[in-house]
Amino acid sequence: HVSDPFTLGIELEMQVINPPGYDLSQDASRLIDAVKSELTVGEVKHDITESMLEMATG
């Protein structure tokens, strides 16, 4: 997404895991759909694999 010149943003990449074995989950899409409507700033989207998601501001 395009930002205004000279802005500062934060990007957080996360992996979704399943307890108790802490193996990677394939549920990033479900998690993204669940939290998208709760965001007031920034965005949440897929990253490289279905077990990863990214949250970004600015």
Q: What is the pLDDT of residues 3-26, one digit of tens each?
A: 667 777 888 999 999 988 999 999
Determine the residue type at 35.
Answer: V
Domain with 37, as residue range(s), is 17-56
Q: Is residue 25 part of a domain?
A: yes
Lowest-confidence pick of 25-29, 43-47, 54-58: 54-58
Q: Is residue 11 part of a domain?
A: no
Q: Is residue 26 part of a domain?
A: yes
Q: How much is the pLDDT for 55? A: 87
CA 23, 24, 26, 32 torsion-angle sign? positive
CA separation for the pair 3, 50 (Å, rounded): 26
Q: Is residue 7 part of a domain?
A: no
Determine the residue type at 9.
Answer: G
Tally the domains of the chain: 1
What lies within 8 Å, CB to CB, of 13 at 6+ separation is 47, 52, 53, 54
pTM: 0.65
Q: Is residue 33 part of a domain?
A: yes
Give the end-to-end CA distance of the chain in Å, rounded to a whole number: 9
